[in-house]
Amino acid sequence: MGLREDKKDRTRTQLLEAGLDLIHKRGFEATTVADIAAAVGVSPRTLLRYFPTKEDVIVSWVQDGMTIIREELEERLKSEPPVVALLASARAMLAVFEEKSRFFLAIETAIRSNRSISARKEQMIAELIDEVARILASPDRPCRLPGVVAYTVSGTVFALIRATISSWVEGREGMSLPDIFDQAATVVHFETNGTE
């Protein structure tokens, strides 16, 4: 990565962190694009180059989590059965959330406080469930799941992720995110070596 890309990445991260901090303190509606830009020392126009809307500041982190799952899954599918790879990919994403728990708790709180962001997140997750199912069922993979099984597994794992994050945000479990996920997953029997 070159100097220019490093600077852009730093600016993006600063904007995200400032936006989240302000939204956490003031609430989503009371925080403006100008407030976020000023906190980082850039113009609102600069912020809008990185994030077309204020909502994008929040949902970009949802997208980042989805990227973790997608990349982890692609890598793991090279050497692991599909279900094992997807469960491990979910744990990897949750471990990243755990490492930055204050940050991600604030993001989840902001998402829950705004219906349009919450709806957008749900739409993004629905699209990812479909994408993951297509990956698991891809005929290009030597170890693949039948289509209906792939969709069932994908939907179930994302339901487990949703339940895990909800429980974590509400502070009910007192455990790490991956541990909450593993506990939730015990109620589901996955056939981890079933392939076509």
Decide which of 52, 76, 91 is a domain's last residue: 52
Statement to judge: residues 36 and 70 lie in one domain: no
> What's the CATH code of the domain at 33?
1.10.10.60
Kindly state whether residues 127 and 35 are assigned to the same domain.
no
- Residue 143: pLDDT band (50, 70, 90) is confident
Do 29 and 104 share a structural domain? no
Looking at the structure, tell me whether residues 76 and 113 fall in a common domain.
yes
**DSSP for residue 145:** -
pLDDT, tens digit (0-9, with 9 covering 90-100), for 172-191 = 667 889 999 999 998 887 77
Residues 59 and 12 grouped into a single domain: no
Q: Please, which pLDDT band fits residue 103 given cuts at 50, 70 and 90?
A: confident
Domain with 36 in it:
1-52
Contact 24/106 with Cβ under 8 angstroms? yes
State the burial class of residue 29 (Cβ atoms within 10 Å of its Cβ: 0-12, 13-18, 19+): exposed
By three-state DSSP, how is residue 176 classified?
Answer: coil
Domain total in the chain: 2
- For residue 196, what pLDDT band results from cuts at 50, 70 and 90? very low
For residues 90 and 36, state if they share a domain: no
Q: Are residues 25 and 115 in the same domain?
A: no
CATH of the domain at 109: 1.10.357
Asked if 91 and 97 count as a contact pair (C-beta separation under 8 A), the reply is no
pLDDT at residue 195 tops 60: no
Same domain, 182 and 99: yes
Question: Are 90 and 130 members of one domain?
Answer: yes
45 and 86 inside one domain: no
User: Looking at the structure, do residues 137 and 65 belong to the same domain, yes or no?
Assistant: yes
